[in-house]
Amino acid sequence: MASYIVRRLLGLIPTLFVITVIVFLLMHAMPGNAFMALVYNPKVKDPAALIARLEAQNGLNQPLYIQYFDWLRNVFQGNLGMSQSLNEPVSQAIGQALPNTLLLAVTAEVIILLVSIPIGVLQANRANKGFDITTSFIAVLFYSIPGFVFALILLLFFSFKWNILPSTGTVTPGVSYSGSLGDHIIHLVLPAMALALPSLAYYTRLTRGNTLQVIVADFVRTAKAKGLRTPRILFRHVLRNAIIPLVTQFGFDIGGLFGGAIILEEIFTWPGMGELSINATLSHDYPLILGSTLVFAVTVLIGNLIADILLAVSDPRIRYD
Amino acid sequence: MSTPLLEVRNLKTHFISRTSRVRAVDGVDFSVERGKVLGIVGESGSGKSMTSLSIMRLVPGPQGQIVDGEILLDGKNLLKLTEREMTNIRGNQIGMIFQEPMTALNPVLKIGEQIGEVLTRHRGMNKAEAKKHAVELLKNVGFPRAEQIVNEYPHQLSGGMRQRAMIAMAMACQPTLLIADEPTTALDVTIQAQVLDLMRELKNRTGTAIILITHDLGVIAEMADDMVVMYGGQVVESGSADSVFEEPLHPYTRALLESIPVIDEERERLTAIPGTVPSAANFPEGCRFADRCSLVESSCREKMPELRELRKGHSVRCTLAV
Amino acid sequence: MNKRTAMFSAAAVVTLSGLLAGLAGTGAFAATKPVAKHAAKHAAIPNGGTLVQTVPSSFGVNFIPLLDSSAYNQNVTGLMFDPILTINANNQLIGDIVQKWWFSKNLKTTYFKINPNAKWSNGIHVTSKDVELGVDWLASQSYNNKDNGAYNYIVSSIVGAQKPLPDGTTPSGFKIISPTEFSITQTTVDPTNLGSNLQFITPLPTFILGKIPMSKWSTSAFNKQPTIGDGPFTITQIVPNQSVTMKANPYYVFGKPHIAFNIWKVVSPDVVSGDLVSGQVSIAAVHATDFNKLKNAPGLATNVTPQNSYDFLGWRLNNAVYGKEFSNVKFRQAVEYALNRPALVQALDKGYATVVNGPFPSANSYADKALANSYKYNPTLANKLLNEAGFKIGKNGWRTTPGGRPFTPTLTYASGDSLLQTQAEFMKQFMNAVHINLKLNAPISFEQQLNELNNDTNGKQPIQGFLEAWNLGSGPQDPRGLWLSNATFNTTTQDWTQPVSVLKQNDKLLAEQASAAAYNPAYRQRVLNQWQQLWNTQLPTNNTISDDLLTVYSNKLHGVVFSPYGTLFIYKWYLTK
Q: Domain of A291: which CATH number? A: 1.10.3720.10
Instruction: Indicate if A241 and A132 belong to the same structural domain.
Output: yes
Q: For residue C508, how far is the Cα from the chain centroid? A: 25
Counting residues of chain B whose pLDDT is more than 90, the rounded percentage is: 44
- Whether the per-residue pLDDT at C19 is higher than 60: the answer is no
- Chain A contact present for B256, CB below 8 A: no
CA distance A146 to chain C (A): 16
Domain boundaries, chain B: 6-93+173-316
Cβ–Cβ gap A275/C218 under 8 Å: no
Those of residues 225-244 in A touching chain B at CB distance below 8 A are 225-229, 232, 236-237, 240-241, 244
Residue partners of A95: CB distance under 8 A and separation at least 6 = none
Give CA angle at A188 (A187, A189), nearest 5°. Answer: 100
- Give residue A48's domain range: 2-76
pLDDT of residue C494: 57
pLDDT of residue C493: 54
pLDDT tens sequence across C532-547: 999 999 898 999 999 9
A180 located within any domain: yes
Residue C412's beta-bridge partner residues? C466
- Whether the per-residue pLDDT at C34 is higher than 60: the answer is no
A142 located within any domain: yes
* Section A162-185 average pLDDT: 86
**Which of C15, C151, C243, C463 is the best mutation test for A, with the most CBs of A within 10 A?**
C243
Backbone phi and psi for residue B87, each to the nearest 5 degrees, phi listed first: -65, -20
* Section B147-163 average pLDDT: 90
* Section C287-292 average pLDDT: 90
- Whether the per-residue pLDDT at C32 is higher than 50: the answer is no
The rounded radius of gyration (Å) of the Cα atoms in chain B is 20
Contact call for residues C565 and C87 (beta carbons, < 8 A): yes
Closest CA in chain C for residue A271: C241
Q: What is the DSSP string of A57-81?
A: HTTTTS-HHHHHHHHHHHHHTT---
Contact call for residues C88 and C35 (beta carbons, < 8 A): no
pLDDT of residue C542: 93
pLDDT tens sequence across A190-231: 999 988 888 888 888 889 999 999 988 899 999 999 999 989
A304 located within any domain: yes
* Nearest beta carbon to residue A227 from set B89, B108, B155: B89
Dist. CA C337–CA B258, nearest whole Å: 110
pLDDT of residue A222: 92
Dist. CA C384–CA C390, nearest whole Å: 10
Residue C88 C-beta-side C-alpha neighbours within 13 Å: 9
Instruction: Indicate if A48 and A97 belong to the same structural domain.
Output: no
Contact call for residues A120 and A291 (beta carbons, < 8 A): no
Cβ–Cβ gap C274/A155 under 8 Å: yes
* Nearest beta carbon to residue B98 from set A218, A240, A241: A218
- Among B44, B13, B67, smallest CA distance to B230 is for B44
pLDDT of residue A38: 67
Backbone phi and psi for residue C472, each to the nearest 5 degrees, phi listed first: -90, -15
pLDDT of residue A281: 83
The yes-or-no reply on A/B contact (3 CB pairs or more, < 8 Å) is yes
Instruction: Indicate if A72 and A97 belong to the same structural domain.
Output: no
- Judge if pTM exceeds 0.80: no
Closest CA in chain A for residue C241: A271
Instruction: Indicate if A10 and A114 belong to the same structural domain.
Output: no
Q: Between C25 and C101, name the one with better pLDDT.
A: C101
pLDDT of residue A4: 80
A260 located within any domain: yes
- Whether the per-residue pLDDT at B270 is higher than 80: the answer is no
pLDDT of residue B77: 93
Domains in chain C, please, with CATH?
A: 7-266+549-575 (3.40.190.10), 309-547 (3.10.105.10)
pLDDT of residue C40: 47
Of the residues A76, A105, A121, the one at which a domain ends: A76
Q: Mean of the per-residue pLDDT values for chain B?
A: 88
Cα–Cα distances in angstroms (integers) from residue C266 to residues A100, A170, A171, C198, C272, in the given order:
15, 11, 12, 31, 10
Please state whether the peptide bond connecting residue B183 to the residue before it is cis, i.e. omega within 30 degrees of 0: no
Structure confidence at residue C490 as a pLDDT band (50, 70, 90)? low
Structure confidence at residue C38 as a pLDDT band (50, 70, 90)? very low
pLDDT tens sequence across B15-71: 998 888 889 999 999 999 999 999 999 888 888 889 999 999 998 878 889 999 999
Cβ–Cβ gap C13/A96 under 8 Å: no
- Whether the per-residue pLDDT at C47 is higher than 70: the answer is yes
Instruction: Indicate if A193 and A304 belong to the same structural domain.
Output: yes
Q: What is the CATH number of domain B6-93+173-316?
A: 3.40.50.300
Of the residues A29, A46, A76, the one at which a domain ends: A76
* Section B188-197 average pLDDT: 86
Residue partners of C14: CB distance under 8 A and separation at least 6 = A37, A40, C450, C468, C469, C470, C471
Contact call for residues C284 and C276 (beta carbons, < 8 A): yes
* Section A144-167 average pLDDT: 87
Instruction: Indicate if A233 and A124 belong to the same structural domain.
Output: yes
Strands (E), C7-108: 50-55, 85-87, 93-95, 98-103
pLDDT tens sequence across C406-441: 999 999 998 878 889 999 999 999 999 999 999 999
pLDDT of residue A285: 86
Structure confidence at residue C370 as a pLDDT band (50, 70, 90)? very high
Structure confidence at residue B10 as a pLDDT band (50, 70, 90)? very high
Q: For residue C565, how far is the Cα from the chain centroid? A: 8
pLDDT tens sequence across A297-309: 888 888 888 888 8
pLDDT of residue C2: 33
pLDDT tens sequence across C49-87: 999 999 988 888 889 998 887 788 888 999 999 999 999
pLDDT of residue C366: 92
Cβ–Cβ gap B155/A244 under 8 Å: no
pLDDT of residue B262: 56
Sign of the CA dihedral running B150, B152, B153, B159: negative
* Section C567-571 average pLDDT: 93
**Which of A41, A51, A90, A188 is the best mutation test for C, with the most CBs of C within 10 A?**
A41
pLDDT of residue C179: 95
pLDDT of residue C517: 93
- Chain A contact present for C482, CB below 8 A: yes
pLDDT of residue C10: 29
- Chain B contact present for A319, CB below 8 A: no
Domains in chain A, number: 2
The yes-or-no reply on B/C contact (3 CB pairs or more, < 8 Å) is no
A66 located within any domain: yes
pLDDT tens sequence across A272-287: 888 888 888 878 888 8
pLDDT of residue B177: 94
Instruction: Indicate if A60 and A191 belong to the same structural domain.
Output: no
pLDDT tens sequence across C445-461: 887 888 888 778 788 88
pLDDT tens sequence across A44-97: 767 777 778 878 877 888 888 888 888 888 888 878 888 877 778 899 889 989
Using CA atoms in the order A33, A34, A36, A41, what is the torsion angle rounded to 10 degrees? Answer: 180
DSSP 8-class letter at C369:
G
* Section B217-223 average pLDDT: 88
Min mean pLDDT across A94-103, A125-134, C345-354 is at A125-134
Dist. CA A149–CA A264, nearest whole Å: 10
* Section C284-289 average pLDDT: 91
- Whether the per-residue pLDDT at C23 is higher than 70: the answer is no
Q: Mean of the per-residue pLDDT values for chain C?
A: 87
* Nearest beta carbon to residue A168 from set C62, C266, C452: C266
Instruction: Indicate if A71 and A140 belong to the same structural domain.
Output: no
Counting residues of chain C whose pLDDT is more than 90, the rounded percentage is: 65
pLDDT of residue B102: 83
Structure confidence at residue C212 as a pLDDT band (50, 70, 90)? very high
pLDDT of residue B271: 54
Contact call for residues C562 and C32 (beta carbons, < 8 A): yes
Instruction: Indicate if A204 and A277 belong to the same structural domain.
Output: yes
Residues of chain A found within 8 Å of residue B123, distances taken between Cβ atoms: none
Cβ–Cβ gap A41/C237 under 8 Å: no
* Nearest beta carbon to residue C450 from set A32, A179, A275: A32
Of the residues A21, A49, A76, the one at which a domain ends: A76
